[in-house]
Structure 1
Amino acid sequence: MTPKLISDTEFNRLLNISERNHERTEAFLSKGASLFSLPGYVPPPGYCLMMALDGKQCRLIKDGITAYAVKIITGKYIVPEKTHCTQVMVWRTFLPEYQAALHGLAKLFFAWLLETYEIIVTDQEQTGDGRRFWEYRINDAIADPQYEVMIWDGTKEKGELSLIQSSEEFVSKWSPYAWGINPEIHPQRLLVISKVKAANPPE
């Protein structure tokens, strides 16, 4: 479910500490990971993009330190019989020496998820940075005719999909509807970008 706003996250605080970052990077690699080729992205010298063997976590690593990390979870309750994915634990370092390597990476990874799963939805809780990232991706998708952008409201019986027609409608109506701090409501509202045409979603 999605997107209750939160201030910060434990993984963010831990990965920002170099010693803990190194420990968590070692733990990630020890569980099994392989080099991952992301279309459109070439890691700079010294960097490697690694995907967990189960395909549920990806990290950009240099010298045993994670510069970018994302976990992926999947489900099937948005569009019947279609698997969707959600990015969780999205993190990037703020250290300046890594920024050139991170340029465009999050957007390219998001695009790869859409190509791979065809449906991607917001995660249950987001920081302000997470919200801004999604707002950019939603506006990009609204402008692209190959995608549909919707909101799924789990507070309605069986869930309810509503098509978002324009960026103006998203900003004025659906963004404040989806994001907020009510723990009973906002974790039940998902924003959806899909390459699969939903079956007559209500407008």
Structure 2
Amino acid sequence: MSTNIVWHEQALTKQDQRTKNKHHSAVFWFTGLSGSGKSTVANAAAKRLHDLGVNTYVLDGDNIRHGLNKDLGFSDEARKENIRRIGEVAKLFVDSGQIVFTAFISPFQEDRETVRQLLEKDEFVEVFVSCPLEECESRDPKGLYQKARAGQIPEFTGISSPYEAPAAPELVLETNLYSVDECVDQLIDFMKRKQWI
């Protein structure tokens, strides 16, 4: 890292942005197995909140790997870098006064905690999208489990690579028990209890 880089303060603060937007800003970090419903619930929540006038953005794991992180593979080291970059981008969204949903498997607790440390108190919400492996595998929306079982995808989370479930998430959404709309209700209820919206 260069030693001559100095942080440049912006004219508008995070609180200025929150005041203008009339809501809190935070990262809702959706983590769970492939096929658990992370992106589906995150996008449904973003749509519902948009209709309520809340500024949101969804950072989706697959989409990010088409651009910002297209140079990364799926080794443990590359996965850590993937999450580090997303954490930094998510922090920028929080600074701009928005609620950002990140939909990433993010299999390692240590990496999720590293992102938490980038943010201030009440700016990081770990959302465990809980769904049994068998259910995720039966959904298999992208055919990835089938390929992983056939040995075509090495280091696939839940099959040949570990997933560390959150130890103490702020919110658990059980997508095998509740509909997408019910999960969004639970998420919005959480925000209302915190008086963020």
TM-score norm. by structure 1 comes to 0.32
| Greater relative CO (CA pairs within 8 A, separation 6+) | 2
Higher strand proportion, which one? 1
